Amino acid sequence: MTDLNEMLVFARVVATGSFTAASAALGVPKSTVSRKVSDLEARLGARLLNRTTRKLSLTDEGRTYYEHCVRVESAIEDAERAVSNLQETPRGTLRVTTGNQVGFLGPIITDYLQRNPEVRIEVLCTGRTVDLIEERFDVAIRAGTLADSTLIARSLGNVRWFLVGAPGYLKKRGRPRSLDDLKEHECVTFGTPESTTRLRLEKGGKAAHVGVSSRLLVNDFDAIHAAAVAGIGLALLPAYQCVDDLRAKRLERVLRGWEAPVTPVHVVYPSTRHVSPKLKSFIDHLQARMAPPPWELGPMP
């Protein structure tokens, strides 16, 4: 027979990251927490947690079981809210993960905090894909094609890319008129020493991969942007990174007929029945402020 108490204790251990923290959160002895989890594993006939002296981690079985526990816990919370008819305002800590170099999110998050004074936000910017459940994050903002998963995804729009150069560089080296001309230009490209320096560009349904010479190869778009503005070479930059420079004529577009594929941006969160007021309000705020995306406000260069 299912023991909801065991499930909820296990879920709290995973959410807090340790038996000690779960004990404090639940207000019961650590030995009780440990026994409940052991009884649950014995009843299921499967190890749910890998235990070491330093940390706990979920096994594959544990991860699957935890996802179901979260749904059960959310259902219980929903039932309690319905009975008490409690009208909650967004409050508490919201944990967000996103990619690197997303400065456009700063004003959006700041505005959200000003509108919701009882919410506190923690943001992790990283180039890796974070496991929201394993690492206890509420929501992620991700660019690019999403992998198949149980996460719920809502679109925040697309990022366009522009091939650009500084006016001084173009005056000195000339403006490329064709894809072949790019081979005669210095470029600032994104990648690592093991990368192939090729640009993917599209025009009228036709795609081309163009090999270019990298004067600077770096895996940081802030560095690429700074080098392009300084006139080091041509660069392919996301709109949010260069649109203000294009409007101010610090950069100019080249080969306007050719464009890189757009990059979709999504907000994703775990597939649970209950979405907390802080999460729902944050997602709604993101979608409202990203329609259209902030870099598209004003005339496009």
pLDDT score at 163: 93
CATH number assigned to the domain with residue range 92-158+264-296, chosen from the 4 options 3.40.50.880, 3.40.220.10, 3.40.50.2300, 3.40.190.10:
3.40.190.10
pLDDT of residue 111: 94
**pTM greater than 0.75:** no
**Collapsing DSSP states into helix, strand and coil, what is residue 211?**
strand
Distance of alpha carbon 236 from alpha carbon 167, whole angstroms? 15
Beta bridge partners of 120: 93
In this chain, the answer to whether the domains covering 92-158+264-296 and 161-253 adopt an identical fold is yes
Task: Name the DSSP class of 88.
Answer: P
238 prior amide bond cis, ω within 30? no
pLDDT confidence of residue 87 = 52
What is the rounded CA–CA span in Å between residue 79 and residue 4?
Answer: 15
Do the Cβ atoms of 201 and 260 come closer than 8 Å?
yes
Q: Which parts of the chain have pLDDT scores under 70? A: 1-2, 82-88, 148, 194-196, 272-274
SS3 (DSSP) at 78: helix
At 229 the three-state DSSP class reads helix
Looking at domain 161-253, which of 3.40.190.10, 3.40.50.300, 3.20.20.80, 3.40.50.720 is its CATH number?
3.40.190.10
What pLDDT shows up at residue 85? 46
| CB-based contact 111:231 (threshold 8 Å) | no
Instruction: Detail the DSSP E strand segments found in the chain.
Output: 49-51, 56-58, 92-98, 119-125, 139-143, 152-159, 161-165, 186-190, 198-203, 206-211, 213-218, 234-238, 252-253, 263-269
Instruction: Note the pLDDT of residue 164.
Output: 93
The single residue listed with the structure tokens 């959006």 is 108
Instruction: Give the bridge partners for 166, in sequence order.
Output: none
Domain spans in the chain, listed from the N-terminal domain onward: 4-84, 92-158+264-296, 161-253
CATH number at 4-84? 1.10.10.10
